[in-house]
């Protein structure tokens, strides 16, 4: 690899630069905290699942409905007398699951299509560009809504998916598929542009002269040099997903049976008038700090890894 960037070096330099960015480090700490909460939430959720009991955050107590904050319930209780704080904690789990599940769809599609389009060019490129132009020309939220509706109804109706919906909320799955099938366009554009550049580089030409197959060049030689793009793209897309889920919840296509932050905000809407602001405030704050930290840290990470990317990234965001 003559002129491909040296990757270990790249990451080391980036980390050194990040370490000196105080803001980024604070955000990283916040993200660490959220990750810890997420792991805790997954543990309680799966713990209850495996033992076959109802997890505590889903047990109703109708005697203490809609209570204001108290020592026992720092964020009060909701309509069914469940502790709001534990709803927020499970909301963290949902937010992370949305981020990861969507990426499971976005990254393979965006990467594979971007790579083949950029590497081979010509007809394949035309086809990929056509595909994402089609998706781009439908108002995003409408397309997500429509896909989510359809996916949910298909998943809920067919026996084949029962195994999945037992463990993953069908609404969550649907939302992720909706956001995944519309969200790969940005990543695809970035990767495509990068492959355009790399296919003319010395090390690629050399590999081709040595008879290395196209597949190997694409995925073994060039791929490591664009991996950082995927990470940057992920960290900058994640906050958008969390915000979009809230809007989808309002539109009635959100998570079905789990307390996502979007669902909590929408439930809180009606009770604002009753002076019940803690539910809204709690979910908004939980969302705010995660999204803020991700935004700032994502920016810093991008500047550290690939400063040239700023405009290109912003353009496709």
Partner 1 sequence: MGAYIIRRLLSVIPITLGVLFITFFLFRVVGGNPAYRIAGKNASPARIAQISKERGYDKPLFLNWRNPLDAQFPRLCLQLVRLDFGESMTTKQRVSTMLREGMLPSLCLTTPLFIIELVLAIALALVAAFYRGTWIDRSLVILSVMGMSISSLVYIMVAQFWLASEWRLFPVWGFEGPQYLLLPILIGVVAGVGGSVRFYRTVMLDEMNQEYVRTARAKGVANRTVLFRHVLRNAMIPILTNVIVAIPFLYTGALLLENFFGIPGLGRLTVNAVFNGDEDVIFATTFIGSVLFVIANLATDIAYTWADPRIRLK
Partner 2 sequence: MLFVLFPGFGRAESVLYGVGGDFKGFDPVDAGDVESADQVGRVYEGLLEYAYLDRPYHVIPRLAEALPEVSADGLTYTFKIKKGIRFPDDPCFPGGKGREVTAQDFVYSFLRTLNPRLQSQGDWIFVNHVRGAQEWVDRVSSSKDPVNYDAPFPGFVATDRYTLQVNLAKPYPQLLWVLTMQYAFVVPREAVEFYGKDFRNHPVGTGPFRLKAWRRNYRIEYERNPFFSGQTFPANTDPEFQADVGKPLPLVDRIIEYDIREYYTTWQMFLGGQLYSAGINKDYFEKVISPQLELSGDLARRGIRLQKSPLLNTYYLGFNMLDPVVGGMSEPRKKLRQAFASALNVKKYCEVLTNNRSTPATSPIPPGVAGHEPKPYPHAYDLERAKRLLAEAGYPGGKDAKGKQLRLTMIMPGAGSTDARQAADFYAEQLRAIGVELEVQMLTGAEYLRREHEGETQIFWAGWVIDYPDAQNVLQLFYGPNKCPGVNATNYQNPEFDKLYEHVVSMADSPERTALYAKMADIVVEDCPWALMTYPLAYGLFQPWFQNYKQHAFPYANWKYFKVLPH
Q: Using alpha carbons only, what angle is made at residue 198 by residues 192 and 204, rounded to the nearest 5 degrees? A: 130
Using the rule CB under 8 A, which residue among 135, 251, 281, 309 binds partner 2? 251
What part of residues 256-275 is at the interface with partner 2 (CB under 8 A)? 256-257, 263, 266-267, 269-274
User: CA-based diameter of the chain, in Å?
Assistant: 76
**Cβ-contact 289, 283 below 8 angstroms:** no
Where is 298: in which H helix or E strand? helix 278-305
For the chain, what is the total number of helices (H) and then of strands (E)? 13, 0
Given candidates 48, 120, 156, 316, which one binds partner 2 under the rule CB under 8 A? 156
Give the footprint of partner 2 on residues 190-249 (CB under 8 A).
249
Cβ of residue 185: shortest distance to partner 2, in angstroms?
26
Q: Are 265 and 88 in contact (CB under 8 A)?
A: no
Using the contact rule CB under 8 A, the part of the chain among 9-17, 55-63, 126-134, 203-211 near partner 1 is: 126-134
State which of residues 25, 30, 143, 231 lies at the interface with partner 1 (CB under 8 A). Answer: 143
Other CB atoms within 10 Å distance of the CB of residue 145? 19
Please name the residues in contact with 127: beta carbons below 8 A apart, sequence gap of 6 or more. 117
The label of the residue with tokens 């309002």 reads 250
Instruction: Please state whether 78 falls in left (phi above 0), alpha (psi between -120 and 50) or beta.
Output: beta
Query: What phi, psi does 74 have (nearest 5°)?
Result: -60, -25
List the one residue out of 201, 296, 231 whose CA is nearest residue 11. 231
- Considering only 265, 286, 304, 305, the residue that binds partner 1 (CB under 8 A) is 265
- Helix-helix angle 84-120:278-305, to 10 degrees: 30
Instruction: Annotate each residue in 75-114 with x if it binds partner 2 (CB under 8 A) or - if it does not, as one string.
Output: ----xx----------------------------------
Site string for partner 1, 278-317 (x = CB under 8 A): --x---x--xx--xx--xx--x----------xx--xx-x
Kindly identify the residues of this chain, within the stretch 188-247, that bind partner 1 according to CB under 8 A.
239, 243, 246-247
Residue pair 80/66 in contact by the 8 Å Cβ criterion: no
Binding site partner of 167, from partner 2, partner 1, none, Cβ cut-off 5-8 A by kind = none
For residue 256, what is the DSSP state?
Answer: S
Shortest CB 74 distance to partner 2, Å: 22
Helix (H, G, I), strand (E, B), or coil: what is residue 83? strand
Q: How far is the CB of 85 from partner 1 (least distance, A)?
A: 19
Q: Tell whether residue 56 is a contact of partner 1 (CB under 8 A).
A: no
Q: How far apart are CA 144 and CA 128, in angstroms?
A: 20
Task: Tell the smallest beta-carbon distance from residue 250 to partner 1 (Å).
Answer: 6
Angle at 256 between CA 138 and CA 186, to 5 degrees: 30
CB of 220 to partner 1, least distance (A): 32
By CB under 8 A, name the binding residues for partner 1: 130-131, 133-134, 136-139, 141-143, 145-147, 149-150, 153-154, 239, 243, 246-247, 250-252, 262, 265-266, 269, 272-273, 280, 284, 287-288, 291-292, 295-296, 299, 310-311, 314-315, 317
Which parts of this chain interact with partner 2 (CB under 8 A)? 54, 58, 60, 62, 65, 79-80, 149, 152-153, 156-157, 165, 170-171, 249, 251-254, 256-257, 263, 266-267, 269-274
């Amino acid at each position: 690899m003559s002129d491909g960037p040296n990757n270990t070096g790249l990451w080391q330099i980036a980390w050194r630069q990040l370490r000196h960015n105080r803001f980024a480090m604070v955000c990283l700490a916040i993200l660490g905290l959220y990750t810890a909460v997420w792991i805790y939430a997954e543990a309680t959720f799966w713990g209850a699942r495996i033992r076959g009991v109802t997890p505590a955050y889903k047990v109703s107590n109708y005697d203490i409905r809609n209570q204001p904050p108290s020592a026992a319930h720092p964020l009060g209780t909701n309509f069914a007398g469940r502790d709001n704080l534990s709803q927020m904690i499970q909301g963290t789990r949902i937010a992370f699951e949305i981020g990861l599940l969507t990426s499971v769809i976005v990254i393979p599609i965006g990467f594979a299509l971007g790579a083949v389009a950029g590497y081979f060019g010509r007809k394949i490129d035309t086809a990929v560009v056509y595909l994402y132009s089609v998706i781009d020309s439908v108002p995003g939220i409408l397309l997500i809504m429509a896909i989510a509706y359809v996916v949910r109804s298909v998943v809920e109706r067919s026996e084949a998916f029962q195994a999945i919906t037992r463990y993953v909320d069908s609404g969550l799955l649907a939302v992720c598929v909706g956001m995944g099938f519309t969200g790969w366009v940005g990543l695809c554009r970035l990767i495509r542009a990068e492959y355009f550049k790399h296919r003319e580089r010395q090390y690629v030409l050399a590999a081709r002269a040595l008879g290395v197959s196209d597949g190997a060049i694409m995925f073994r030689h060039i791929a490591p040099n664009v991996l950082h793009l995927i990470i940057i793209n992920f960290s900058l897309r994640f906050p958008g997903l969390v915000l979009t889920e809230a809007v989808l919840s309002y539109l009635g296509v959100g998570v079905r049976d789990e307390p996502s932050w979007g669902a909590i905000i929408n439930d809180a809407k009606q009770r604002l008038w009753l002076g019940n602001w803690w539910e809204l405030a709690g979910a908004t704050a939980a969302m705010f700090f995660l999204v803020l930290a991700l935004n700032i840290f994502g920016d810093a990470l991008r500047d550290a890894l690939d400063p040239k990317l700023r405009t290109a990234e912003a353009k496709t965001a």
